[in-house]
Structure 1
């Protein structure tokens, strides 16, 4: 039977570490997912107001097939600069892509990124010409580890999930045949993660071991399809987003990783209602460390991975909000 990994974090995937950094005066933060070795990657964008970096590079038909890290950050477009800090750190280590090893020619770290909007959350945003995000990226990279807290940390520090505090969430699943899938999400959605009139998460069917409170809807519960619950009542363009990363040690090609990303998007739908709105910037990355070859690299095997990624992501989203409320 498949069960959560020992930490129930995306870092249960061997070869993956996560670092967080926050500026609590600005009320914002950055999260970086670092692969020990270059990882095959893909991206899927579903929201109508995304903010991303290097996502075109992740198409299955492009030349560069692997990445060194993924950055998820607060700060709207300013937050994309966090990837500059991570790239600088990786470059100083000699990591990155290069057609050839040439003396005096630095390699180029490949660091895709996505951001969420937290500029209107009441923090001190009077940074003038010095937004904090490059430094936050550097700090998050230096803080990378196998264990990390959830809730009001990293890119989830200044987030809001509907009418509730948002946050950083993560979850993992280890299958009986030894494959691990992990998810991490910064939850700043317009929609609600709770079923209307209850403390029950929409993602409750996927919960493992009471990881987000073990709340269940009452018998006969039947919400009005037009009732969204505790969504944000006055959404503004670009101010709502859930950004996420899936990691697995299953060996995936770029095209296979892209299919997993497309399937994993349903994890958003299982945890948030409504989702993928015109004013959401929902984006999802997939990383494959390639440590475990698929015994049967068939469409059925890929379907299995995509489904497990979706359910694990739904759990990570719920955990991000649950931990932020604790």
Structure 2
């Protein structure tokens, strides 16, 4: 079997998905909204020791609602959870959400799981008083949703750092020869390093396709025990972390199957960040199924294949987010491209 990136090499190569982003340069933060064109099966897996999430309990396979209307990734630590409110307000105003029955005067309840990363100490102006920007940023992002979006210093990854390098928003996709599409989007704000040692070789290098994040090859891809290279171990910001992501596929999945894919997709973070899932990280991976392609063979082997593709694609997305990152205006943040 063979597979290639989709035409955009973005998560929006998965049919039925749009992505919108907004950021605030002064505050140094941002929001990313993943918007399916109709309610989509969703699951999540939480591995970090310090997560911040919204509505993830509702995603377990034994709960009432088995589909969501959007997924939100945001900066801002706990403040950023308000981005889910902005997305929900936009969806509710358009009649989207869960309801037992259509009744006059009773609005549906939009299902919007969300996860946040910590970008409060990056030097931006966080003196927002009683008016934090996240609800408004989510409204801007969802209004801008479409098939194309910026990578690097944009959206939820705008204020991010990846170890000692500027972090950012990354995305990638893969399409198999039999037509299954898998995509990933990630905001990389990791404690761990995305490159080996003191060099520039991404840990995700073995999964790179067509030089999508520099094409340096595997030279320097070595790791000594207890040597974490360009991680935040040497920085005062060692507790200011978290990598949050969403993986999507057009294969029709049940909530339980999506959950298994989310667990496997977390390995994409392990393949691209060292160390990862630490006590001060809040790493979360969502999985969406737009169900545009029936899963003709729902065998364990098929699920393992989709999960493996999800992990590889997420690893590539992590590297692309850091590769495309640029400094904040007026800052001296160190970027991979120097």
| TM-score between the two structures when normalised by the length of structure 1 | 0.98
Aligned residues between the structures: 325
In structure 1, distance between residues paired with 2:181 and 2:94: 28
Which deviations, in whole Å up to 9, do the C-alpha atoms of 1:6-56 show, x marking residues without a partner? 000000001100000011000100000000000000000000000000000
What residue is the counterpart of 1:142 in the other structure? Answer: 143
**C-alpha distance in 2, partners of 1:280/1:236?**
12
Cα contact 1:235–1:279 (8 A) shared by 2: no
> Counterparts of 2:238 and 2:226 in 1: how far apart (Å)?
21
Task: Please list the CA deviations of residues 91-137 of structure 1 after superposition, one character each: whole Å capped at 9, or x if unmatched.
Answer: 01000000111111000000000000000000000100100000001
Distance 1:312 1:121, change over 3 A: same
How far off is 1:197 after superposition? 2.6
Please give the alpha-carbon distance, in whole angstroms, between the structure 1 residues aligned to 2:44 and 2:29: 24
Q: 1:250 to 1:216 in 2, by over 3 A?
A: same
Q: Note if 1:277 corresponds to 2:278.
A: yes
Deviations 1:152-206 (A, max 9, x none): 0001111000000000000000000011000000000000000113210000000
Give me the whole-angstrom Cα distance separating, in 1, the residues matched to 2:67 and 2:33. 16
| SS of residue paired to 1:126 | coil
Counterparts of 1:308-323 in structure 2, within 5 Å, are 308-323=309-324
Whole-Å separation in 2 of the counterparts to 1:194 and 1:237: 17
Task: Assess if the C-alpha contact under 8 Å between 1:49 and 1:238 holds in 2.
Answer: no
Which runs of structure 1 show a deviation greater than 6 angstroms over 4 or more consecutive aligned residues?
Answer: none
Question: Partner residue of 1:11?
Answer: 12
* CA distance in 1: counterparts of 2:251 and 2:200, whole angstroms: 35
- Cα distance in 2 for partners of 1:121, 1:235 equals 11
Superimposed CA distance per residue, residues 188-242 of structure 1 (whole angstroms, 9 cap, x where no aligned partner): 00000001132100000000110000112337x6431211110002466752000
> What is the 5 A alignment of 1:228-243?
228-232=228-232, 233-234=234-235, 239-243=240-244
1:70-81 pair list within 5 angstroms:
70-81=71-82
Q: Which residue of 2 aligns with 1:56?
A: 57
> 1:237·1:280 contact (CA, 8 Å) conserved in 2?
no
In structure 2, how many angstroms separate the alpha carbons of the residues matched to 1:237 and 1:166? 14
State the partner residue of 1:211.
212
Cα 1:237–1:203 change in 2 (3 A) is closer
Conserved in 2, the CA contact under 8 Å of 1:183 and 1:316?
Answer: yes
Residues 155-194 of structure 1: matches in 2 within 5 Å? 155-194=156-195
